[in-house]
Amino acid sequence: MEIRLLHGAAIAPYIDDLARLRLTVFREFPYLYDGTLESEADYLASYARSGRSLVVLALDDGKLVGASLGLPLVDGSSQLQQPFLAQGRDPASVYYFAESVLLPAYRGRGLGVRFFIERESYAHKLAEFDYCTFCTVERPNGHPLRPTDYKPLHGFWRNRGFLDEPTLRSSHAWRDLDEQEESAKIMSFWLKPLPL
């Protein structure tokens, strides 16, 4: 397994592969995302434009099997920044951990932990941020598409030092696999102070 760290424009050659990986993994619960390659490529282009972005690639014999992304919150969308602004928090003090996506056959091998370690290490090295954060979709326990063996990742995130911040919520719209149109989803933010 090769782990490769990329920043800014170096991400551009991997955008199509990252888009396909995201579309594959995000079809699973809890995201149930029915997106397009075009919208994914547009989203990922913001990471290629940010000089302080990080993409951690997991490659098996040259094939992309997992990835984790991060960038300064101020380089992210206004939707991501708004909850922080509403609470009087400066988005410039926050490094945003975007998604970690990993094909099912590669889960349980420590790559999820490695993704968090690499992003936190990079945010700390930049020495510009007080916090790191990520957000996750909230789904009811009784959701009809929730698999019976689904295990939330709350314990994993707490073990990484993150806590759910109830005052930080955002709304994002996408089309679920069982929907005809986009609908709004509530996203909850988890926050961790970065060491001085």
Tell me the Cα Rg of the chain: 16
Q: What's the confidence (pLDDT) of residue 52?
A: 97
Please state, rounded to an integer, the average pLDDT across all residues of the chain: 95
pLDDT greater than 90 at residue 161 = yes
H or E element that contains 96: strand 94-102
Strands of the sheet containing 94-102, edge to edge, are: 2-6, 54-60, 63-72, 94-102, 131-137, 183-193, 163-174
Annotation: CATH topology of 2-193:
Aminopeptidase (3.40.630)
* Distances, alpha carbon 45 to alpha carbons 4, 24, 35, 66, 97, in Å: 18, 19, 16, 18, 16
| Per-residue CA distances from 82 to 62, 75, 86, 170 (Å) | 38, 13, 6, 8
What are the tens digits of pLDDT across the range 78-112?
999 999 999 999 999 999 999 999 999 999 999 99
Q: Where are the domains of the chain?
A: 2-193
Rounded Cα–Cα distance for residues 61 and 90 (Å): 42
Q: Is the pLDDT of residue 145 over 90?
A: yes
Instruction: Provide the percentage of residues in the chain whose pLDDT is more than 70.
Output: 100
Per-residue pLDDT tens over the stretch 110-133: 999 999 999 999 999 999 999 999
CA 62 to chain centre: 22
